[in-house]
Amino acid sequence: MRPAAFAKLTWLEMKLFLREPLAVGFTVAYPVVVMFVIAGVFENSGGVGFRGAGGAEYYVVSNIAVVTAAIGLIALPPHVASYFERGIMRRFRASSVPVAGVIAAQLAVCFAVAIVAAAVLLAVARPVYTYHFPHSLPGVVLGFVVGLIGFLALGLLIAALFPTTRSAQSVGMVLFFPMYLISGAAPPLSVLPSAMRHVADFDPMNYAVRALQDPWFGFGVTATNLVVLLGIAIVSGAGAALLFRRR
Amino acid sequence: MAAVVEVEHLRKAYGSVLAVDDVSLVIEQGEIFGLLGPNGAGKTTTVECVEGLRRPDQGRIRVLGLDPARQTRELRQRIGCQLQQAALPDRIKVWEALDLFASLAPQQVHWSATLDQWGLEDKRGAAFSSLSGGEQQRLFVALALGNQPQVVFLDELTQGLDPAARRVAWDLVRAVRDRGATVVLVTHFMDEAQQLCDRVAVVHRGRVAAVDTPQGLINRYGGGVRVVFSAPAGADVGWLDRTPHVSRVARHGPRLEVTGEGPLLAHIGAGLIAHGMEPADLRVEQPTLEDVFLHITQPSSSSGAQP
| In chain B, residues 70-89 whose CB comes closer than 8 Å to chain A | 73, 76-77, 81, 83, 85-89
pLDDT, mean of residues B49-76: 92
Handedness of CA A200, A203, A204, A205 (dihedral sign): negative
Is some CB atom of chain B closer than 8 A to the CB atom of A22? no
Q: What is the mean pLDDT of residues A4-32?
A: 91
- What SS3 state is found at B16? coil
pLDDT (tens digit per residue) in B164-211:
888 888 988 998 899 889 999 999 888 899 899 999 999 999 999 999
Mean pLDDT to the nearest integer, B283-293: 86
CB spacing of A91 vs B86 below 8 angstroms = yes
CB B109 within 8 A of CB B145: no
- In this prediction, residue B302 carries a pLDDT of 41
What is the 8-class DSSP label of residue B305?
-
A74-83: average pLDDT: 95
Interchain pair B76, A96: CB under 8 A = yes
Residues B116-144, mean pLDDT to the nearest whole number:
89
Helices A99-125 and A30-41 pack at an angle, to 10 degrees, of: 30
Contacts of B95 (CB under 8 A, 6+ apart): B111, B115, B124, B125
Q: Which domains does chain B have, with CATH numbers?
A: 3-219 (3.40.50.300), 224-286 (3.30.70.980)
Least confident range of A76-90, A190-204, B43-57, B248-262: B248-262
Residues of B in contact with A4 (CB under 8 A): 103
Region B40-50: mean pLDDT is: 92
CB pairs under 8 A between A and B: 60
Closest by Cβ to A90, choosing from B83, B92, B146: B83
* Segment among B41-55, B212-226, B245-259, B289-303 with least mean pLDDT: B289-303
Query: What pLDDT score does B301 carry?
Result: 47
Mean pLDDT to the nearest integer, B3-11: 95
Which residue in the set A5, A82, A83 is minimally distant from B104, CB to CB? A5
Kind plus residue range of the DSSP H or E element containing B51: helix B43-51
CB contact at 8 A, B8 and B174: no
Considering CB atoms only, which of A19, A83, A94 is closest to B51?
A: A94
Please state, in angstroms and rounded to a whole number, the distance separating the CA atoms of residues A55 and B288. Answer: 82
User: What is the rounded distance in angstroms from the CA atom of residue A72 to the CA atom of residue A182?
Assistant: 18
Which pLDDT value is given to residue B273?
92
pLDDT at A54: 82
A1 interfaces chain B, CB cutoff of 8 Å: yes
Minimum Cα–Cα distance from B92: chain A residue: A16
Q: Is residue B85 a contact partner of residue B117, using CB atoms and an 8 Å limit?
A: no
What is the distance of C-alpha B103 from the center of its chain? 31
Confidence bin at B5 (pLDDT 50/70/90): very high
How far lies B247's CA from each of A156, B8, B203, B229, B268, in Å? 68, 39, 30, 16, 12
Q: Give B247→chain A minimum CA distance, Å.
A: 51
Mean pLDDT of B209-218: 91
Residue percentage of chain A with pLDDT more than 70: 99
The B residues from 36 to 65 touching A (CB cutoff 8 Å) are 51, 53
Q: How many domains does chain A have?
A: 1
Res B73: pLDDT:
86
- Show the DSSP H helices in A126-203 as ranges: 137-161, 165-181, 194-200
Look up the pTM and report it. Answer: 0.84
d(CA B302, CA B307): 12
Question: What does the pLDDT read at residue B7?
Answer: 96
* Structural domain harbouring A57: 3-246
**ipTM here:** 0.86
Radius of gyration of chain B (CA): 24
A91-149 residue pLDDT tens: 998 888 889 999 999 999 999 999 999 999 999 998 888 888 999 999 999 999 999 99
Nearest to B246 by CA among B264, B228, B270, B229: B264
Q: Please, which pLDDT band fits residue B304 given cuts at 50, 70 and 90?
A: very low
Angle at the Cα of A213 (from A210 to A215), degrees rounded to 5?
A: 110
Q: Is it the case that residue A4 has pLDDT exceeding 60?
A: yes
H or E element: which one contains A92? Answer: helix A88-94
Q: What percent of chain B has pLDDT over 90?
A: 45
Interface list for A 94-153 with B (CB within 8 A): 94-97
CA-based torsion, A165, A170, A171, A175: positive or negative: positive
Inspect the interface and report whether the beta carbons of A9 and B89 lie closer than 8 Å.
Answer: no
- Residue-wise pLDDT for A224-247, tens only, equals 999 999 999 999 999 999 999 887
- Alpha-carbon span B169 to B189, nearest angstrom: 14
